[in-house]
Amino acid sequence: MMSAPVFQPGFSMIAHLLRATVLAVLTVPACAGAPALAQATGRPTWSETKCANYRSAWTHTLASRGRQGLSAPFLADHQAFLDSGCQARGMACPRSPEELAIANVMVILAMNAGAASTFLPFHCGG
Residues belonging to the chain:
126
Strand partners, 122: 92
89 and 52 in one domain? yes
54 and 35, same domain (yes or no)? no
Residue 2: what residue type? Answer: M
Which structural domain, as residue segments, surrounds residue 92? 46-119
pTM of model > 0.75: no
In a domain, 126, yes or no: no
The SS3 assignment for 19 reads helix
99: amino acid identity, one letter: E
Residues 102 and 61 in one domain: yes
What is the predicted pLDDT for the residue at 2?
52
Domain assignment present for 4: no
Q: Report pLDDT digits (tens) over 45-79.
A: 999 999 999 999 999 999 999 999 999 999 999 99
Mean pLDDT rounded to a whole number for the chain: 80
Tell me phi and psi for residue 64, to 5 degrees: -85, -35
Q: Is 73 inside any structural domain? A: yes
Pick from 111, 125, 99, 118: nearest CA to 53: 111
Judge if 71 and 83 occupy the same domain: yes
